[in-house]
């Protein structure tokens, strides 16, 4: 599977994660029982579907190898999207992050991703 996985988080949740030393997930993550991640190839579609027009997001890039058995690759709920998605059944320790960068909106209302995201 992919060596780096990504999640988009609200600024307030990112601030709380920095204070706690781990990211515990969004309300949606807590409801579903796991943290939702995407691969680089899945990220833009995930942003359009789940984070369209949202300001103040941060993009967290995690080293998948550091997440151990708590990371599972599973189909999207209801088979709504093809492929397997990375789901973390634990908190995300900040020590597993490769980067955390703001994810601004462009003039067209779409998120502006770092260059390494296709």
pLDDT at 106: 95
Q: How many CA atoms lie within 13 A of 88 on its CB side?
A: 27
Residue-averaged pLDDT of the chain: 94
Residue 77 has pLDDT above 80, yes or no: no
Higher pLDDT, 48 or 81: 48
What structural domains and CATH numbers belong to the chain?
4-103 (3.20.170.20)
Residue 78 has pLDDT above 80, yes or no: no
Residue 82 has pLDDT above 80, yes or no: no
Instruction: State percent of the chain over pLDDT 90.
Output: 91
Closest to 83 (Cα-Cα) out of 93, 92, 72, 73: 73
- Yes or no: say if 21 and 94 are a contact pair by the CB < 8 Å rule: yes
């Amino acid at each position: 599977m992919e060596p780096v996985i990504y999640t988009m988080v609200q600024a307030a949740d990112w601030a709380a994660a920095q204070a706690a030393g781990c990211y515990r997930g969004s309300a949606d993550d807590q409801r579903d029982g796991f943290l939702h991640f995407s691969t680089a190839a899945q990220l833009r579609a995930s942003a359009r579907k789940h984070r369209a027009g949202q300001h103040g997001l941060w993009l967290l890039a995690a080293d998948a190898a550091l997440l151990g058995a708590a990371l599972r690759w599973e189909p999207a709920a209801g088979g709504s999207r093809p492929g397997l998605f990375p789901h973390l059944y634990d908190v995300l320790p900040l020590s597993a992050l490769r980067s955390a960068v703001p994810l601004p909106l462009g003039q067209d209302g779409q998120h502006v991703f770092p260059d390494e995201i296709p």
